[in-house]
Each structure stands twice: as C-alpha cells, then as structure tokens.
Amino acid sequence: MRLRRHGATNDLTRALAPDAALDRRLAEEIRASLPRGRTLFRYFRDRFALQLLAYAAAEGRSLPEMRRGRFGALLQKPSVRRALSGRGRCVDWELLDTYFPVPTQDYEITLGLWGSEGDWHWNQTSRAGYNVVLQLNFPHAHDRAYRRYIRPGDDPPFARGGHPVNEDGLHTMAWARLDIDTTHGEVLIEEIQSDWIRDAEAASEDALRCLLAGGFAAPWSVFRCDALDIFRYVEHVLGVHRRLWAEATLAASLWFLRERLGIRRISMHTHEGGCRVKRIAGRLRPPRSLYENVPRAFCFERVVGAPRFLERSLPRALAREEFWHLRI
C-alpha cells in the first residue's frame, strides 16, 4: 500500500465527464487504471484497522486526535496496539502501512464492469449506467487445493456464470460494485458479495448430512468428487477465506478508491435502505450483516440522505433513505 498525500488528485478522475452515471467508455478507462501485471492485496484479519489509521496519520493526526475521532475504537485492535507500542503521541503512517506481523493471504485484484443504460433495474444498481467491479480473487494456493479436492470440469462448482466475476485466471472470491462519480469525487458501494463462499457453505452442509447418513455421493450433480472431499475443501481450504472475505473486499475497495483514483468520500447502502433503492425483495435480499456490521466495523457513519451525485436520480423519498458514509 502506498498512500496519496493530502490534496493529491488523479488525472483520470479530472478527465471523466461530469454529472452522469458512468457510460461504458468511461468505466473502461477506470478499469484500465490498474498497473500492468498482477495487483496483489496482502491481507490478514483486521488489517483494515491499520489501513484506516494510516490514512488518518497521513493527514498529520496525532494519537490523541485519533483517540477522540471516529477511528478511536480501531486503536484497541491487538495488531494496532502492537504496531504503536512505545510510539508516544506520534503516529507514523509508513509504519502502519508496512506493518505485517503475521502471514498474509495474497489476493489478486482485477476489475470488471456491471450494468447497462437500458433496463438497469434488473442489474440491482441505484441508477442507470455502469458500475466498476472490484474483483478480489483467491490466492494461487487456494486454486491449486480447489482443483485437488473438487476436481472441477467445464462447469466448475461455486463459479457462477452471469455474475461479475473474473473469467481469465484466478477464481473470484468476492466482489464490490462501485458507482463512481468523478465530478464530486464520491463513490457509492452498491454491494459486496461472494457467491463462492455462500454456495460452498451450502454444499458443505449438504455433504455433511450425506456423510452422517452413511453416504458418500456428492450432494449436487455438478460435482465430480465425493461428499467427503467437499467437506474437507470447505473446512480445511476455504476456512480462512470464509472469515476474511467481507472485510478484505471492503478494505481492497477503499485501497483502490483512495490510492488509485484519489477518491476519499465513500458511501454504502444500509440494508433496508439499499433494498428499497434497488428494489430488492424476498429471497434476493442480501445478508443484513454485510450492510450493517461490516460498515460499522470500518467506522462508517450512518446518515440520512443519499450521496450528492445520486440525489437527482432518486425519487424524493428514496433520496432521504439512510446511507453509510466514510471519509478516508
């Protein structure tokens, strides 16, 4: 991670068109903003706390100022306390930025697109146009173990078609859809989601029931392995990623927005408000914890009113929904 200095701008964000959802051309420009080659995001549990505090330290905030501010609770994280032990009142952003006291999961970031300018409600976006999709892809070690246990064929289990996943290389663990406004330098995180984790957990539960009943057949016809291999994969290979995926995906999104695009005002849907704005009902509603517990852990503030760039696109009642907001 390398931080932008306060007040830094990005030529790409200045150049894009004002006052509109991203059209495909502009979204493709943002998609091309990652450097050539692999973009790795090293992550361990609660790494986001060090990341957010590093952003605050880059603005010259002292330790007492941080304790009084929104990020005060993050100072109690064990990894943060170890990093700052004996540092006094001064906080060194580079120390926080480069502090990796435990082995990491090295996820790979790729970018995709999602949306349309036509029948856009089907895409579960808040307005017409395109989202940039940050895809957080599994490490190589995971994909090797996946092939060993699951033995995927032409239709690999847990890799859902028709969703915004990486189709060239490593499998996508999870993604975040980003509605980016370049005029005001704001972003709405439309969703964070992992079909892979959800479907794998469901398959593991079915496999365990099968094993307890004395059977070994895989629970779904798409599998080429047996129930024991499915259970072993989910418990022994996927376990660490199940615990990390939501916070790692949000942390990677904040890294990309601030450090690649220079965008520092971030909004996110609440659970109830997001379902109303995007017209999601019934079984399609996402888990509440993703839109309540996760942004709260990242010190987002719950406020009334849509981001400025979205207000004109929403009916008055929906523009007064609650949203999460964070400045980084």
Within 8 A by CB and 6+ apart from 255, the residues are 1, 41, 51
Residue 291: predicted pLDDT: 97
Using a cut of 0.95, tell me whether the model's pTM lies above it.
Answer: no
Report the alpha-carbon distance of residue 5 to residue 8 in Å, rounded.
Answer: 6
Task: Write down the residue that tokens 């704005």 correspond to.
Answer: 277
Tokens of 93: 């952003």
Task: Write down the residue that tokens 């091309």 correspond to.
Answer: 32
pLDDT per residue as tens digits for the range 66-122: 999 999 999 999 999 999 987 767 788 999 999 999 999 999 999 999 988 777 778
Give 39: exposed, middle or buried? Use CB within 10 Å, 0-12, 13-18, 19+.
Answer: middle
Task: Show pLDDT as tens, one digit a residue, over the chain (328 residues).
Answer: 443 333 333 444 444 333 446 888 888 999 888 888 899 999 999 999 999 999 999 988 888 999 999 999 999 999 999 999 877 677 889 999 999 999 999 999 999 999 887 777 788 999 989 999 999 999 999 999 999 999 998 889 999 888 999 998 999 999 999 999 988 899 999 999 999 999 999 999 999 999 999 999 998 988 999 999 999 999 999 999 999 999 999 999 999 999 999 999 999 999 999 999 999 999 999 999 999 999 999 999 999 999 999 998 999 999 999 999 999 9
Residue 8: predicted pLDDT: 38
| 97 and 83 Cβ atoms separated by less than 8 Å | no
Residue 21: predicted pLDDT: 65
